[in-house]
Chains A and B, each alone.
Chain A
Amino acid sequence: MAIKDYLRERFFPHLWCPGCGHGMVLNGLLRAIDKLGMSKNEIVMVSGIGCSSRITGYVDFHTLHTIHGRALAFATGVKMARPELNLIVPMGDGDALAIGGNHFIHAARRNIDITAIVMNNRIYGMTGGQFSPLSGENIRATTAPYLTIDPSFDVVELAKAAGATFVARTTTYHIQQVSDIIGKAILHEGFSVVEVLSQCPTYFGRKNKEGDAVDMVQHFKKNTTSIGSKAKQENPDLIERGIFVQTELPEYCSEYEKMVQRAMKGQ
């Protein structure tokens, strides 16, 4: 299918700023879905609030644009009600890990078959450039005029510790890898977390003098490396990309079905 057949062109132009990384993530996501040959009717996309969450309006799936931070809780309800559907939940960094942090770790703990995509641009874009729990220290933001003092979460480590059975990271520079990893995450049976470093030239870039969108994307190229690479050994500050965890463990909806069998037998 042509990629544009997955889009609701009726609702374009989209609201993302020029140079925003979120459209690149959408591109990678749709190519992954196209490659998997999935029917549009079997995909439910659930999002919360923020720039990234507007993605649901533009794609021709069953789409649920919910409230801030709670997308995974809504998605858990949809998935439990109809386990045969594929749930994809794109979230921003604040949406997923500040207000939604509790739902994030509990969805991971249950290992429910949902694909969570954290579109991490290290800033609240829609509200005008406030720092997020993934901004890290010494970042300038509209709520950090004297630079941030808050340490950042490491999404990969957090997801691993909480029990996610597929954990990966990539960037908008590595667009093939975005598509490849999201495809694997969708196929994985269990809770999958894909962190995609995405650029916000409008707020993060301008505030922190990181240049334009192209500069920011090149920054992802320079500052990341494949998991366990020689470059990482030489320069421990590089951020690793790739699949960190991919394990098969009991998935929540399947376990629930087993419990139903026990309950029906009166055990």
Chain B
Amino acid sequence: MEKCRVVFSGSGGQGVITAAIILAEAAVLFENLNAVQSQSYGAEARGGATRSDIIISDSAIHYPKVIQPNVLVCLTQDAYNKFYQVIRPGGLLIADTRYVKTGKKVDAQQKEIAMFETIMDRIGKPIAFNICMLGVVISLTELVKPESIMKVLERRIPADFLDMNRTALDIGIKLGEAALT
């Protein structure tokens, strides 16, 4: 596969960093791919726009940061405003409709998807919002299989919460599929 560079952005508490780790871990542990994940740390990472970088590839990855993402996810307006210009021409930009009003001048496919609203509608709690977002990403990019994400979740999440996360992932996958058409 070609090297795929992904940036997840949003605000603290939305779980974008956790989602990034899960995606990269799934690629490494269950798809036999290489992946690196990094993020900005510290006080400045708590307020404002949070960002985590993931590179997935079947060859070695040396430089671990993403300069021009193939895939950019923006879960807040701040994150969108800060990062939309860096997307690789022709890349995929996924934004959440609840929080982000997208502009028109981006040289990328923009997908505005009602992730937050659907999660609140179907689950009633925003805590699996990031897993829903992962569902959207893997359904639009086919970076890793849903089972690989679930295997990572099984290792990380208490059994009581697995069903809810599986539901959130499925919701995301369906939202992604709907956005393809």
A and B touch in the complex (CB under 8 A): no
Residues of A participating in the B interface, judged by any CB pair closer than 8 Å? none
Residues of B participating in the A interface, judged by any CB pair closer than 8 Å? none
